[in-house]
């Protein structure tokens, strides 16, 4: 029987399981998105916890116990690895991981959701060595992080995240939640489709950055008003994604000036954007690394890899 490590992650909108062997090869990578009703901007934590409980049993059943021997399990337990970091949804992966470990008498490990994202980002960027910078841009998080044994915040949003900016405008324009793929595709076509080369954006938006912190609520209000006036989904999508590209580039440059580190790993669901991956252009001194596209959004691969790291010592 092949020995495997299991990873579990139950974020705000995705139930995830991953399994890897002791060489780090992926045996299983399964996820179930939580269902958000049309026109809604998210889920209450109690709703999400219930859905995770329904989903996680289905995912665990995908592991063939006659073929694989589980030797360790790692579940996410909190949003970040700091005191008082808490969100009810992570109790599901934390408790299920502990229950499986006790029942099977195997090693138990825990990590934060943020550590999970960063470790998954290293899966295809093995050359990255500490210290380096990591930027988490996801549904509820925008943080610029220094990774050097521990993870410390170098910069952040002072109000909403890029993911919230995208989803709030996306739902306003009639797209399903989460709305990232719709805005990303429209922005990509607007700027990069060969038939649209001459398209330009009117009224360049002011970027509000102080030190390595950013405010985004102002641009949200402005673009909502602009959409109400023009009702042009493609144009507003292009403005949203272009603003994220421009402001993220400035955040990276300011972080480089502050921390004097030139390697930046970009993780989180927003980083799966094909527009951002194609369009961000930075100073030649800065090395930009993206998590593999399928491991940018919420997943459990990072949990499994962290479990493997700890298991092998």
Q: Where are the domains of the chain?
A: 2-122+297-312, 132-290
Segment (H or E) for 104:
helix 90-104
Q: What is d(CA 125, CA 203) in angstroms, rounded to the nearest whole number?
A: 38
Which candidate, 236, 246, 216, places its Cα nearest to that of 172? 236
pLDDT, residue 203, reads: 78
The HSE-up count of residue 71 (CA atoms within 13 Å, CB side) is 14
Q: Euclidean distance between the first and final Cα of the chain, in Å? A: 22
Residue 276, pLDDT > 80, answer yes
Residue written as tokens 């139930």? 15
For residues 14 and 43, the answer to whether their CB atoms sit within 8 Å is: no
Please give the backbone phi and psi of residue 93, each rounded to the nearest 5 degrees, phi first. -70, -35
Local confidence band at 284 (pLDDT 50, 70, 90 cut-offs): confident
Look up residue 309 and give its two tokens: 């790291």
DSSP 280: -
Look up residue 158 and give its two tokens: 């002072």
pLDDT, residue 38, reads: 87
Look up residue 201 and give its two tokens: 């954006």
pLDDT, residue 251, reads: 97
Q: What is d(CA 103, CA 211) in angstroms, rounded to the nearest whole number?
A: 49
- Longest Cα–Cα distance of the chain, Å, equals 63
Q: Evaluate the omega torsion of the peptide bond into residue 131 and state whether it is cis, within 30 degrees of 0.
A: yes
pLDDT, residue 41, reads: 86
Mean confidence (pLDDT) of the chain:
95
Given its phi and psi angles, is residue 40 left (phi above 0), alpha (psi -120 to 50 degrees) or beta? beta
pLDDT, residue 275, reads: 95
Q: What is d(CA 148, CA 163) in angstroms, rounded to the nearest whole number?
A: 26
DSSP 207: P
Residue 198, pLDDT > 90, answer no
Segment (H or E) for 181:
helix 180-192
- Calculate mean pLDDT across residues 201-219: 92
Residue 94, pLDDT > 70, answer yes
CATH code linked to domain 2-122+297-312:
3.30.420.40
Q: What is d(CA 279, CA 93) in angstroms, rounded to the nearest whole number?
A: 36
Length reported for the chain: 313
Local confidence band at 197 (pLDDT 50, 70, 90 cut-offs): low
pLDDT, residue 195, reads: 66
- 251 SS3 class: helix
Helix axes 162-172, 180-192, angle to 10 degrees: 90
pLDDT, residue 300, reads: 98
pLDDT, residue 39, reads: 84
For residues 143 and 135, the answer to whether their CB atoms sit within 8 Å is: yes
- 285 SS3 class: coil
Look up residue 134 and give its two tokens: 């990591």
Residue 285, pLDDT > 70, answer yes
- 177 SS3 class: coil
Which candidate, 196, 184, 141, places its Cα nearest to that of 163? 141
Local confidence band at 71 (pLDDT 50, 70, 90 cut-offs): very high
Residue 148, pLDDT > 70, answer yes
Q: Which CATH class is domain 132-290?
A: alpha beta
pLDDT tens per residue across span 155-195: 999 999 999 999 999 999 999 999 999 999 999 999 877 56
């Amino acid at each position: 029987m092949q020995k495997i490590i299991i990873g579990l992650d139950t974020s705000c909108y995705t139930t995830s399981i991953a399994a890897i062997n002791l060489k780090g090869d992926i045996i299983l990578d399964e996820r179930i998105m939580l269902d958000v009703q049309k026109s809604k901007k998210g889920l209450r934590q109690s709703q999400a916890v219930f859905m995770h409980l329904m989903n996680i049993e289905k995912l665990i059943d995908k592991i063939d116990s006659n073929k694989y021997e589980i030797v360790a399990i790692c579940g996410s337990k909190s949003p970040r690895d700091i005191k008082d970091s808490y969100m009810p949804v992570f109790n599901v992966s934390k408790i299920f991981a502990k229950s499986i470990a006790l029942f099977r008498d195997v090693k138990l490990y825990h990590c934060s959701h943020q550590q999970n994202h960063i470790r998954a980002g290293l899966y295809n960027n093995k050359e990255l060595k500490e210290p380096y910078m990591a930027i988490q841009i996801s549904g509820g998080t925008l943080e610029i992080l220094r990774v050097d044994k521990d993870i410390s915040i170098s910069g952040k949003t002072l109000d909403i995240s890029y993911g919230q900016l995208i989803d709030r405008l996306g739902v306003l324009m009639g797209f399903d939640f989460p709305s990232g793929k719709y805005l990303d595709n429209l922005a990509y076509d607007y700027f990069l489709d060969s038939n649209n080369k001459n398209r330009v954006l009117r009224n360049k938006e002011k970027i509000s950055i102080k030190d390595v912190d950013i405010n985004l609520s102002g641009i949200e209000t402005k673009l909502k008003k602009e959409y109400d006036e023009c009702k042009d989904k493609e144009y507003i999508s292009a403005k949203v994604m272009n603003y994220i590209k421009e402001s993220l580039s400035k955040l990276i440059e300011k972080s480089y000036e502050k921390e004097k580190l030139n390697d930046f790993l970009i993780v989180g669901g927003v980083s799966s954007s094909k527009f951002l991956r194609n369009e961000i252009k930075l100073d030649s001194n800065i090395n930009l690394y993206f998590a593999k596209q399928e491991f940018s959004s919420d997943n459990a691969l990072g949990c499994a890899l962290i479990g493997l790291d700890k298991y092998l010592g």
